[in-house]
């Protein structure tokens, strides 16, 4: 089975940095994803980690520690448009089958 | 290149009815996954299709079913609707089964009265 935990809500200030944590327990880990979802819109892909370490992409970075079952998404130089839900997701692989399982999401509010 | 297209975008049904939702993946994408999104549960995996075959299934009752056609378009069906089936149903396509990036459609919002 699988379990993905992330905070329900976070608030941060425009221009600041925020870190959204995600912990997971899965029987067949094969990659971790972060998606962004603005209210009323479809989720969009942000990042993918399969090996330990930090992946940087512009203002966004994602970190993975497989031994700890832990990831975080780091958002720098926050902008008002970053107000959205951030979804942590894990690919669970077993035998020849796999599926991507999502956490409940972290709703991030940016204040001026 | 057109994105993932889901129809209908909104629909209202009553308990006991059935509903069919459609998903057209990005051209060239052969895998389609379906998710149910509700405020309390987040995105819940329903099933994934690749090459017209269901490759994986989530923990939903048999009232939820799907299929994929030879052109990779997919449909999902929910029979004997219950109030709790009210949700946003999202379809996502990827180039192949097990591909890393899912591209989501805008979803079909189902309300069951």
pLDDT in tens, B17-46: 999 999 999 999 999 999 999 987 889 999
- Residue A1 is predicted with a pLDDT of 45
Three-state secondary structure call for residue A48: strand
Task: Assess whether pLDDT exceeds 70 at residue B1.
Answer: no
Neighbours of B8 (CB within 10 A): 12
Burial class (CB in 10 A: 0-12, 13-18, 19+), A39: exposed
Q: For chains A and B, what is the number of CB pairs under 8 angstroms? A: 50
Query: Among the residues of chain A, which ranges form H helices?
Result: none
User: Which has the closest alpha carbon to A98: B80, B50, B16?
Assistant: B50
Residue pair B32/B93 in contact by the 8 Å Cβ criterion: yes
- Residue A68 is predicted with a pLDDT of 96
User: Which has the closest alpha carbon to B110: B34, B50, B48?
Assistant: B34
Give pLDDT tens digits for A44-65.
Answer: 999 999 999 999 999 999 999 9
Assigned token pair, B30: 């052969």
What average pLDDT does range A11-40 have in this prediction?
95
What average pLDDT does range A74-84 have in this prediction?
97
Contacts of A104 in chain B (CB under 8 A): 41-42
Task: Assess whether pLDDT exceeds 50 at residue A36.
Answer: yes
Task: Assess whether pLDDT exceeds 70 at residue A2.
Answer: no
Is the Cβ pair B42, A87 closer than 8 Å? yes
Neighbours of B52 (CB within 10 A): 13
By DSSP bridging, strand B103-104 and strand B5-7 are unpaired
Q: Which of B33, B42, B97 sits opposite A105 (nearest CB)?
A: B42
* Element at A12 (helix H, strand E): strand A9-13
Give pLDDT tens digits for B52-106.
Answer: 999 999 999 999 999 999 999 999 999 999 999 999 999 999 988 778 789 999 9
């Amino acid at each position: 089975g699988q379990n993905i935990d992330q905070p329900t809500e976070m608030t941060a200030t425009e221009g600041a940095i925020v870190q959204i944590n995600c912990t997971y327990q899965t029987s067949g880990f094969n990659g971790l994803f972060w998606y962004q979802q603005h209210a009323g819109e479809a989720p969009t892909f942000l990042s993918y980690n399969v090996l330990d370490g930090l992946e940087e992409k512009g203002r966004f970075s994602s970190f993975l520690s497989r031994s700890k079952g832990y990831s975080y998404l780091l958002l720098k130089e926050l902008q008002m448009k970053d107000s959205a839900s951030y979804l942590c997701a894990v690919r669970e692989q077993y035998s020849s089958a796999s599926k991507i399982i999502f956490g409940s999401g972290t709703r991030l509010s940016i204040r001026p | 290149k057109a994105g993932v297209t889901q129809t209908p975008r909104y629909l209202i049904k009553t308990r006991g009815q059935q509903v069919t939702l459609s998903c057209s993946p990005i051209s060239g994408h052969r895998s389609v996954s379906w998710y149910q999104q509700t405020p309390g549960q987040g995105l819940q995996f329903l099933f994934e299709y690749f090459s017209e075959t269901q490759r994986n299934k989530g923990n939903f009752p048999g009232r939820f079913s799907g299929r994929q056609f030879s052109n990779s378009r997919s449909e999902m069906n929910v029979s004997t609707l219950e109030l709790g089936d009210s949700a946003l149903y999202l379809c996502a396509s990827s180039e192949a089964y097990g591909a890393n990036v899912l591209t989501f459609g805008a979803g079909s919002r189902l309300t069951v009265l």
